Chains A and B, each alone.
Chain A
């Protein structure tokens, strides 16, 4: 049975129109050879209440996603439209990453590393509501592309603005997590590399691209917290048993 004939499926999770027309790797810029695009720095200082709202939204994202309807098992098919890798700085070596794939049949595969309480691979099918929520977050992220060097430049500008004496404010994240977000559709790939996005987002809530990225990442990571995930080997066992 060809999956494309599955009448349950609706619109693709990510449409070609959502990608910039310039093509492959629209968001990924090699930092080592690309100078900071200073003209692209936009600093928007918002009132403190906005920060509180952002934190609430972050928490709400996790809560609402985690308490959705009971997840349905699935088999991943086709292209992984979304891939998020989280590599801790303190644990940076092969096999230590948390990886979340969202496939084009709405099947989500989560691989948790061996030092996690739930090490191994888990699967569940996105509901229509979850799918729509991800689409919104992804759209926000792509409308405000995140570039690590530009974010750091914006952060430095904010620190200067906050300082009573120029250039005295500093910020650093030690053992920072590395985030790699890849979006794919019909051969187009958009990649984003970032560091310690949640810590930077807490300090610099006014940076829109950072906020959009961290909300999308938070939603994806929240999948790994669900209580109703089904282990991949359990699904294989059920299939073999004809259940």
Chain B
């Protein structure tokens, strides 16, 4: 990772705050970690939502955008199916379809489309600032410590269930009690998915997500969630996974996050084509291919719709137009939905999608008829599958069930098979509401005016529609207020205010799935109602606890059939006659009533009987009922017969008394006995009070037999009631007796001696009485240790506690008679504790060598009272010079202990070691053994100077080391050295010096070599014992300056100019000793001097070719060249050669041209003429000192001239006469112009030639051919108009 990228990632949390897109949902974290982000089309209302539209914006980069269309159509189909397909959605750098270094557009598009519908990364991703591979960890919030706690756990895979995450707060919704990203839950709501970590399975530490490595470990090869961040070349990831599906479908559970209610929502994606600058309303997900991203992004705007819920408002996808995208190619198949009949359909109706998959046309690689699987999706969760066999003209079909009315986007996706590409086709399918029919009936019909008329409606769904309509049916009628039936109820009630035929209308308004319908009925109403009649019932009197019997009466009514008349009653004294005790009988007109007063109640009540007709009209009849009071006898509850033993009593036997008139407290009791010998009356005693009484019967001592006991209760009116029960007294044996034994105390390991006691019995002879014993503390006193002695009535007992036991025991002595009657005597025996000494096992004598130790010598300790762990050890030594006490160390624990004795270094001899073990009561035990230490020669020592790092061509310097030995004097120790790498450091270059304890070592590597060598120092004592030490010498390479030679002076041909090259100019290159692996990095050519500017752009190629440009001027240029190799300058290295100077010499040249003319073709006798001479310098160097010569020829006289210079040229003389002979200086570009005026003296017939010539001075003339010029003209007579007037 380069430094800038590392810095960016380090800064990412600050650049990209945690409040933004921190969760599995885009906006989780801004306001709440539980926040769910919904797609744009969801506004908080459930149901089937409008389609979420996606388009390609062609306003920016239309050509590339158009290429993306195939991928967009496929991605839309993938999201509309919304299925998790593991095990083949991921091919990292291995897709056989995608060329090397290209990126799959469809895979990236799926990822960004997920973002734009509200999904965030389930992994940390780059916004966390965590470097790879930690970036694969499960998405979380930083928690209280404000940092991500990232630890991959034992399996080293980030994102798995054993990640150790400190206080990080999980943001990934996982399946409760499963935490397996490879499984889909049955429901997608908070009953199955949870964000808190409280529902993790045992042993899991954090929520796992569908990272590629994690899924592979869970048995899902080539599987990763689409929303995991991280794209790669040649990666195909075109199927959704658990994380993707669960997160999206959890959102679709609506605001309450409970699936299966009206709050749920569904929607489909719809590709709306290529648009130019679409609005977000027209195109909810805008796709652009442009320069606004380096790869791919999704930017989303959102707005809160309720607590913990946000919806996307704008969603834009951008893809980089410079990326080498792999666009899903044109398929070699065409998928079409040819039919979706019936279309439209109605809810509950099945419609059939017919699909054809055919070869795309000419140019495909294969021909024939595709076979394989086609999935047909309705975009709102419905899916069916077709299997094509590949027959010619094949049309596949499958059925889908119509849901709620909507316009659906049906998509058929052929999954591809055996060389046939996948392809998709779409169509729309309309689901209309189902029709209904409604019918009504009214009852009763006819009905009296003003009475209730029930209207019952029957609403049916017209086939093929199915289902149960909901909503309301509105009922209206003439002359009646309307009423409403709320389905699933089927009726409501009307009340008419007029008689005659009435029109009743019912209307069902329909709902989301069903169309409305209506019905009409005619109801008939009779005239006004008259009240019913009832005959009289006479007053009457009855006694308490009787009823009236059936009292007959007659009812009637003009409009209501007598059978339909209803009866009711009222009572003015509900304490005497509650309404429930008034019962009607009879039928038709003949009815009766039976009144039953409450038991034991008396008094007067008026009973009113009411008859009611069908129209709620009533008639009443009242009669007076008198109930006369009568005395009631008291009551007593039953007492069961019972049997008791001799010398016992019955205990208090409970019974209850009562009376209607007398208060229970005033009721009196009396008793009688049928066997006064056994039970005198005085021995029958009553207890209790009020209604709750008891009786206790005590038979005479030692008496037995049977007695009937009578208990009588009497009220205030002398009324009585009796209860008799039989008491049986069983004969019993008398128990034996035993005298007391006093408590006593003895010491541990003693016994009680014989303790005397006496036994006796009424029925059994004392000799026949038997003894037994028991102990409450069998550990201290087993029963076997209780021994009886004596005979007859005089007996003894001796108790012997277990050895070393102490404490307390209750000893019970039992005497038993011949009838198994027993008597016990218990006494407390206290055994006082006495301490036992500890124990220690033997340790054998042993011998060891000097400077060794005994190792751990095992022994065992023990004690009766003290736990082994609490026993303490101490040691002593008879020879502290050899074994000080501090060098005797104990180990082990509990009973198993050990001792290690370590003699002092270099000491030998004999020592007796004594081990003492002490218990908690200071009791001790001792074990001693003899340790013999045999004398040994000690190994000499030499120190290491430590590893050394030096540069090439340096040495380590003298490094200090020390030597030593126990037995041998330092001066007698022999020190030697050797090298592990004698090529780098020959042994001969290792120099040892010093004396006694202090020595030195110096290593000198071979010149110009680098590398590492280990130097081993060996010291030998007088006893030939050897000690060693090592150290490494690391020699850093140091680059040596390169050198080279060149051909030397370059002398191009005079007058040459332009680019020149000299191959092989460098004749020898030496990159440095032992540096043959280096290469020439560059030659640098610098200008030293070039006074005349003859050279430019001089350079040397790495191949040694000299290039330079000549300006054409003459002179000498001195250049310097240096060579730089690629060995660098680390450690003081020199990568640049000494500068070599060379010269380029160019001879100065001139190019002067001379012209002469008088612009005449003839000369006239005695006439005059004018010559013009022009000297022009077109060369590269000045031409000083050139000789110009123009002699006056014969035939010309009065020869005078003038001279004018230009272009920096200066005339030697401005004018003159006669012949011209002058030294002229012509600079480059200079021009001298001579004008000569002369008179012709020659006669006609002659020819005058006038010549000018120039000889250059010190510079080389490149072209002498134009250095002279001659003008020759014939001389003619000066005759005017020689041939007449012209």
Contacts and interface: CB of A to CB of B under 8 A. Distances in A.
Contact of B301 (A169, A194, A222): A169
Contacts of A167: 31, 304
B15 A193 contact: yes
Contacts of A169: 301-303
Contacts of A225: 291, 321-322
B5 A149 contact: no
A90 B15 contact: no
B311 to A, nearest CB: 10
B11 interface: yes
B115 interface: yes
A92 B300 CA distance: 21
B118 to A, nearest CB: 10
Interface string A162-178: 01010111111111111
Given A31-B15, A115-B324, A117-B322, A91 B294 contact: yes
B295 A112 contact: no
Contacts of B12: 178
Most chain-B Cβ atoms within 10 A of its Cβ — which of A85, A90, A152, A196? A90
Contacts of B291: 62, 218, 221-222, 225
B5 A87 contact: yes
Nearest to B300: A172
A93 interface: yes
A32 B1103 CA distance: 53
Interface stretch (A42-50, A124-132, A197-205): A197-205
B17 interface: yes
A224 B322 contact: yes
A94 B8 contact: no
Interface string B223-252: 000000111010000000000000000000
A242 B1061 contact: yes
A116 to B, nearest CB: 5
Interface string B1080-1113: 0000000100000000110001010101000000
A149 B21 CA distance: 16
Contacts of A23: none
A86 B293 CA distance: 8
Contacts of A76: none
Nearest to B324: A117
Given A112-B322, A168-B303, A225-B322, A175 B1101 contact: no
A73 to B, nearest CB: 16
- How extensive is the interface on chain B, given as a class? 35 or more
Given A89-B126, A115-B101, A196-B297, A170 B310 contact: yes
Contact of A114 (B233, B295, B310): B233
A119 B132 CA distance: 24
B103 interface: yes
Interface in A19-58: 30-32
B1191 interface: no
B102 A115 contact: yes
Nearest to B132: A93
Nearest to B20: A172
B16 interface: yes
Given A62-B291, A176-B127, A89 B299 contact: no
B96 interface: no
A92 B9 contact: yes
Candidate in B13, B111, B293, B1097 with the most chain A CB atoms within 10 angstroms: B293
B301 A170 contact: yes
Contacts of B293: 88, 177, 196, 198-199
A26 B898 CA distance: 72
Most buried by A among B11, B15, B26, B1097: B15
Interface string B281-314: 0000000000111111111111110000010001
B101 A170 contact: no
B21 A174 contact: yes
Contacts of B125: 89, 175
B112 interface: yes
A1 B1097 CA distance: 7
B5 A92 contact: yes
A178 B322 contact: no
Interface in A188-234: 193-196, 198-199, 202-203, 218, 221-222, 224-225
A31 B9 CA distance: 12
Interface in A119-162: 119, 148-149, 152
Contact of B294 (A87, A170, A203, A222): A87
A160 to B, nearest CB: 12
Given A89-B229, A174-B298, A175-B295, A31 B20 contact: no
A184 B101 CA distance: 34
Q: Among the interface residues A115, A118, A168, A196, which one has the most CB atoms of the partner chain B within 10 A?
A: A115
Contacts of B1103: 240
Contacts of A165: 304
A149 B1087 CA distance: 53
26 contacts: A31-B11, A85-B4, A87-B8, A89-B127, A89-B229, A90-B295, A91-B294, A92-B8, A97-B2, A97-B4, A98-B294, A115-B295, A165-B304, A170-B302, A170-B304, A170-B310, A171-B20, A172-B21, A172-B27, A173-B299, A175-B126, A177-B297, A178-B8, A193-B15, A198-B293, A199-B299
Given A171-B301, A242-B1107, 10 more contacts: A32-B14, A91-B231, A167-B304, A172-B21, A174-B115, A174-B297, A175-B296, A177-B297, A195-B16, A196-B293
Which 10 interchain pairs have the tightest Cβ spacing? A31-B14, A88-B295, A198-B292, A174-B115, A170-B302, A199-B299, A168-B304, A86-B294, A88-B294, A172-B21
